[in-house]
Amino acid sequence: VFKGDFVPHLVAVDTDDSMQKVAEQIAVHSVGRRVPHKPSASGYQIQIGESLVPLQWLLSKAIGETGLKPLQWVTVDWARPAGEHL
C-alpha cells in the first residue's frame, strides 16, 4: 500500500525485481490518483514490518531478511530528502 492511500493493490512482482522496482510498481497505482505527486521527494522508501528495506535489494533478499510472506502488505512512502528526519 502507498502511505496515504486508502486503496490497497495486489501487485505482481518477481523475486528478481529490486525493491526500487517493487516500490515503483506499487506507486504507479496511487501517485497522481489518490496520492498527490511530491516533487520535493527524492524517490521512494519501502517498509516491511518495522524495517526500512534498501531499494537496491532484490525481493528475494528482502524475503529472506525480513520473513516477508506471500500477500503480506508492504508500505511505500516518499523518501525523505537527505538531512530530513522523522
30-86 pLDDT tens trace: 999 999 999 989 999 999 999 999 999 999 999 999 999 999 999 999 997 666 554
d(C-alpha 3, C-alpha 52), whole Å: 13
Residue 32 domain-assigned (yes or no)? yes
This prediction's pTM: 0.88
Give SS3 for 35.
strand
13-32 pLDDT tens trace: 999 999 999 999 999 999 99
CB 53 within 8 A of CB 4: no
d(C-alpha 82, C-alpha 79), whole Å: 9
Extract the C-alpha cell encoding 2. 502507498
Residue 86 domain-assigned (yes or no)? no
Report the pLDDT value the prediction gives residue 82, as an integer from 0 to 100.
63
Task: State how many domains the chain has.
Answer: 1
Residue 84 domain-assigned (yes or no)? no
Residue 13 domain-assigned (yes or no)? no
